[in-house]
Each structure stands twice: as C-alpha cells, then as structure tokens.
A and B are shown apart, each in its own frame.
Chain A
Amino acid sequence: MHKLDAKVQLDGWAQPTLLKVATLPEFASGLFPLERMVLDLRDPRVRTAFPTLSRLPWAGFVVNDPEQAPVGRPWVAIPPEKLNAQPGDVIEVVPETSKAALRYRRGANNNILFATERCNSFCLMCSQPPRDIADEWRIRQICALIELIDKNEPSLTITGGEPTLLGSGLNCIIEHCANVLPHTQLHVLSNGRNFGGGVLASSFTGLHPALMWGIPLYGDHYGLHDYVVQSKGAFAETMRGLYALEAAKQRIEIRVVLVKPVVEHLLALVRFLYRNLPFIEHVALMGTEPTGFARAHHDELWIDPADMSAVLAESTDYLTRRDMRVSLYNLPLCTLPRSLWPYARRSISDWKQHYLPACKSCAVRERCGGLFAWVTPEWTSRALKPALEGEEQCASH
C-alpha cells in the first residue's frame, strides 16, 4: 500500500496549489502551462539541462533535498520513500500543514475525483462515512485538477459522498471533463435518489461523450434496500431515478455490495433487475471494503465469500443467459469457484491493494485483485489459499 499524502519540507508557496510533476517529456509536450507544473529535479536528465530549464516560469521545483532548489523559487522536497510522486502525476502542496498529496497518478487503475463528503444515505457498509460540511470549494478544485490530467487517461471516477448534492456543480465538472478530456471515460457513483424528478437527469443528456452512472440497488424490495442504506423511502427514489436516467438516455451500471442480507436475497434481486431494469448495461457484484461504517457492523454484514459461491454462480448464470453483463469485484480468486473466474476483475485500487503471505506462492496472483490493505482476520475468507501451478489452466474452460 502506498500513502497518498505526507508531511514534507517546502517553501515559497502562498496557498494550496495543484501542480503537475514534469520531467523532459511533460515539458516537451507543451500540453500543460509551465506556470502549473513543477520541474522534477530528482530526475538526473533534468538536472543535466537544469541551467537553461530552470529559468522558465515553472510554478516551482520538486527536489530531493532543499539545496537543489534555485534561489528564490518555490520548492517541495519529496523523497521517494515518503510519497511516490512520479512524472505526470498531479500533486497538491499545502503550505499551512506542510503536506504534499497525490491527486492524480499517471497509469493508476482507479483515479478518482472526490466530489463531496456530504451524502443523503447512511449505508451500513459505507467505506467513506459522510460529513455534513460545506465543501463546494471542491468544484473549483476538481475543475483545476481535470486540466492537469493526462489527455490519454482512459477513465476517471467521480465519487463522494453523493455527487448530485453538488447541484449544477456536478454538471460543470462533467462538462469540463467533456471539454478538456474528451477521450476519458467517466464513471459517476451516485445513489440515484436525486434523479426522481426527472429534471436533474435530463440536464445530463448529451453532456459527455462517454459517461456511465454507477447506481447501487440492494434488494428487490424496499424493506431490504432501505435497511441497507439506512434511509426511509430510498428504494422508491432510486427506482424513479433509474427510470429518469434511462429516459434521459444515460448509461447505467447497477452496483451491489455483497453484504450478508443482500447475498441472502441476491437471486431475487437479479431477477428483479432483469424484469424491471432490462436497459442497464452492467451489473457489478462487489465484495465489502472493510473500513468506515462497515467495521462497526461486522456481525450484520460479514459473510465469507466461500459461502456465497452457490448464489454467485446462480446469479451470474441467470444474468449472462439473459445477455446482461455481470462482473465480480473485490473478491480474491481463491474464494471463488473456477467457473466464476472469468467474471472476476482486478478491481481494488492499486494503492490499497494487499496480498497475504500465503499469496506468495500463488500461480494466479497476477490476475487476482488481492485484498484491501485494511483487511483484518475477521474479514478474511477461510477459503484463502494459493492456487497451485497448473490448476489455473482449468479457469478458461
């Protein structure tokens, strides 16, 4: 697991600033203003060209130690062991707290734009417990960040909190993505409850060339869904929201977190999806991330993935036979029957990915998403064991 922020030495910065880390290729490309980049003097080739390059109007410099910085210019010292900031990444330097944070990582499998900490649901297994604070400042920050992201970034995820609580700010962010990063697929994670009226949903029609909404649904009955999201009336609102999104020609993925009460009724849920929401493009069945509220509700939520095998197999089979795409996330391969391996995705963000000592000898480790870094024994399946050499052949049949 890598840290995403760290205390660092820095000087010359007046306010929190987003900066693109630049070496020679980033300078050569000319795609980002020099005034919004920091020249990475940790790179030996950059140091060779330092005398001429350093006279350009860079926002500042990334150094290994403060002596390297040109006199009178802003700098931040980021030793690699403290923070893994690479060329092309976007960092934020925060002078008040002497911190540097990674806001975009080139080549990472899951870069997010964090929209808001506010939420109108309080899901039992929320990994990002909401806070009711005014954080509209994030809209500006996200738009500034978008401008520094690589133009060939394949995908970004807008998440929170509940992004629709930004109101028209969310439209601004999505429109800005469409303008600045037209080739980047956008995935917005929302609970869909605010779309019920239809006006909000239709405001997204045609706004972005490659936008997908990820909306959770936890049961075929309001009682179960409202219990999981701890909000009365949420099921009805989300269902109305899903139809409003469909009417607004939006692409929709249904996301199901595999907590115990949901797994117990999973087959009923996938039947419900097929009958009532046949327009959805993808169903994501996801293992629980054991952090946030989830840790407080272990007894209510935990079910060993080994005990889900039968219902997972039946549910994926039901959906696949009906031409509905389904994928499994956050579940180690060894906890799944081999017939389900083709549906399993390496989904855990690389910076929080973790493997156990037992995984060392596993033959399919490279294809396995591993575990969340914060997994504890009580969140670990009894089925975890290394897959043996040769066994993995069967997976393709």
Chain B
Amino acid sequence: MRKSLTVAGAVLSALHGVAHGSDNADRNKGLTDLAVQDGDFAVTLTAPLNVNVRNMYASHSSHSSHSSHASHSSGSSGIYRAPRDYTPAYTPAYTPPPPAPAPAPANSYSPGIQPLMSTGTPRPSADQLRLMIMRVQAALYAKGYDPGAIDGELTESTKLALRKFQSAHGMAATGKMTTQTMNTLGVALTP
C-alpha cells in the first residue's frame, strides 16, 4: 500500500510539474523513477490477502444444497480421508512460484457488482467448501466470535457469528463469505 502511495505521489507531483512548464519534465521523470525504486523498499504494512481472485464461496449461504456431504460425516472413526480435490501437499524446492491469481474471466464484472447469473464462476467441490467453512469458523473463533463448532457446516450459529463480525467491521451483515469478509478475517481464497 505504501509503495503504491509513494509512487502515486511521485506521479502526481510529476504531472503537477508538467502542468507548470515542460522544462521540468526530465527532472520529474527522474524523480518518478527514484520513487519507483524507493517503493520497492517501502515496508508493506497491509496488503489484502485476496486480490484479483474469484470468490466461488461468496454465494454460499446454505450448505444443504450439496448432497455429497451426506457421505462425508466422518463419524468417530478418527481416520481422515484425504479430500478428493485437495492437492497442494508438499511443494518441493526449485519448483516455479505458485501460479499468479487466476485472471478475471473475459466478461469480468466491476468489483463489488454481483453477476446476475454465475455461469462463469466455478462451484467449489464439497470438500473445498467444507475446508473453507472450517477456516472461516476457526478465524471467527480466534477473533472471539462463536461459530458453534469448527466442523465445516455453515450452521445458523456460524452465519450469526459471520453477521456479527461483519457489522462489527462496518460491512453489510449478510452472513456470506464475501471477499471483503475473508480479507478482514485473514482467510485466503486460494489454496
């Protein structure tokens, strides 16, 4: 954030200089370059976790539409079955960096505007959704809210905790896992 401010400030003052006579242009260009270089060393205090990431969890207000969950109550066996879609596991050294956030779809919407139809948005698998809800519940619990349990079920207590958290942080109390809510909770949308 500070980096972008530093650079933005320099660009603004450069523009200002241009407006007042172009003989300063070179000098201002130099100043902008310097600011860009300095920006690399500015301490990044807060960067939102989820930038340019499609949020396929935001529309979930209920958990019951996923019939596959019935088969997933793991009972008391105590043995964890690895979710089908859970892949990251160990990343060996020398592998290329994690892929950049998925680019917005071609018909991308302005931020904050919900599409009427979610044709382009993939739906999370049951296991992905369950794990994400557990993360949200853990974050809520760690911040002093009571989600009921950390069990991956979007229960009434969890939605109530989400709404309380949202209104306490100046957001609309929708009880949904919006990107802004996830950022404030410290939950990354990408695995």
Q: Which residues of A contact B (CB under 8 A)?
A: 23-25, 27-31, 33, 35-36, 45, 48-49, 52-57, 70-71, 139-140, 142-144, 147, 152, 154, 172, 176, 179-180, 183, 185, 209-210
> Which residues of chain B come closer than 8 Å to A57, judged between CB atoms?
80, 82, 86
B46 to chain A, nearest CB (A): 8
> Which residues of chain A come closer than 8 Å to B162, judged between CB atoms?
none
> Which residues of chain A come closer than 8 Å to B186, judged between CB atoms?
25, 28-29
When A33-B89, A210-B40 are in contact, do A56 and B80 touch as well, CB less than 8 Å? yes
User: Is the beta-carbon distance between B93 and A143 smaller than 8 angstroms?
Assistant: yes
State the interface size on chain B (CB cutoff 8 A): 42
When A49-B150, A70-B78 are in contact, do A27 and B135 touch as well, CB less than 8 Å? yes
Does B126 reach chain A (CB closer than 8 Å)?
A: no
Q: List 27 A-B contacts (CB under 8 A).
A: A23-B142, A24-B138, A25-B138, A27-B134, A28-B138, A28-B139, A28-B185, A28-B187, A29-B139, A29-B187, A30-B188, A31-B49, A31-B188, A33-B88, A52-B149, A55-B78, A55-B80, A56-B134, A57-B82, A140-B93, A142-B93, A143-B93, A143-B94, A144-B93, A152-B44, A152-B47, A176-B94
When A36-B90, A152-B44, A210-B40 are in contact, do A30 and B97 touch as well, CB less than 8 Å? no
Per-position 1/0 for B30-43, Cβ under 8 A of A: 00000000001101
Residue from the list B74, B82, B94, B135 in contact with A28, Cβ < 8 A: B135
CA distance A31 to B186 in the complex (A): 10
Does B191 reach chain A (CB closer than 8 Å)?
A: yes
B184 to chain A, nearest CB (A): 12
When A57-B82, A143-B93, A154-B43 are in contact, do A30 and B135 touch as well, CB less than 8 Å? yes
> Which residues of chain B come closer than 8 Å to A183, judged between CB atoms?
44, 47
> Which residues of chain A come closer than 8 Å to B188, judged between CB atoms?
29-31
CA distance A116 to B97 in the complex (A): 24
Find the A residue at minimum CB distance from B189.
A30
User: Is the beta-carbon distance between B94 and A172 smaller than 8 angstroms?
Assistant: yes
Does B118 reach chain A (CB closer than 8 Å)?
A: no
> Which residues of chain B come closer than 8 Å to A35, judged between CB atoms?
88-90
> Which residues of chain B come closer than 8 Å to A31, judged between CB atoms?
49, 188
List the 8 closest A-B pairs by CB distance, nearest first.
Answer: A143-B93, A179-B97, A28-B139, A24-B142, A49-B150, A55-B80, A28-B138, A30-B188
